[in-house]
Amino acid sequence: MIYFEAAKRIQELTDVKWHKLTPVLFGNAVEWTLGTEYILASIFVPNETGLLVFRTECYSTNTTSGAADFLSRKTTPPGEAWWMTGDDLTVTSDNRNDQTDRANDAHIVLDVDNWLLFGPGQFAFLVGALDAIVDARIVRTSCYGFFVPSEIYEQFRNQFQQISGGLV
């Protein structure tokens, strides 16, 4: 249902037919114990297309046996989170660009309905600088979006505020 609503909105804005939109769902599950940077979601945007991300969800699960909240789903983890692009998936690479502010609290970026646009021929990835915790947890992130044709990417890129190839 979430894809149909977003596709309908894209069609209203651009007159593109639904069959030209390719739905994508991507994300990672990472083991979270240390206070460090994690790649929470990543995808390669093919040439001749753009990536429009319209929904991001993230939660953590306690995996410590015997814990009172064992396997309970919790809200987004504390820390900061931001979107980046780059030639590879190395967070510290010289070939990367921040697409959103690094100072955003994680809950603002990791559980949001927001349209983000990424250009072709690069990786788009979501990074979380998560606070250290006592119990072992798994952080699961899901990002919903579409690969859009290049003409739609160009139309959106010209309509919205652009920051280094992405939208905020």
Q: What Å distances lie between residue 114 and 21, 49, 56, 168, CA to CA?
A: 18, 19, 8, 8
Phi, psi (5° rounding) for residue 167?
-110, 150
Show me where the domains of the chain are located.
20-152
**What is the model's pLDDT at position 95?**
60
- Checking if the pLDDT of 162 tops 50, the result is no
Phi, psi (5° rounding) for residue 69?
-105, 30
Name the band, by pLDDT with cuts 50, 70 and 90, for residue 27: very high
* Choice between 11 and 92, residue whose per-residue pLDDT is larger: 11
- Checking if the pLDDT of 29 tops 70, the result is yes
pTM, whole model, 2 decimals? 0.85
Name the band, by pLDDT with cuts 50, 70 and 90, for residue 165: very low
**What is the model's pLDDT at position 153?**
87
Please state which of the four CATH numbers 1.10.1740.10, 2.60.120.680, 3.50.30.50, 3.40.50.150 is assigned to the domain occupying 20-152: 2.60.120.680
For 38-97, write each residue's pLDDT tens digit.
Answer: 999 999 999 999 999 999 999 988 877 777 777 777 788 889 999 988 877 665 556 677
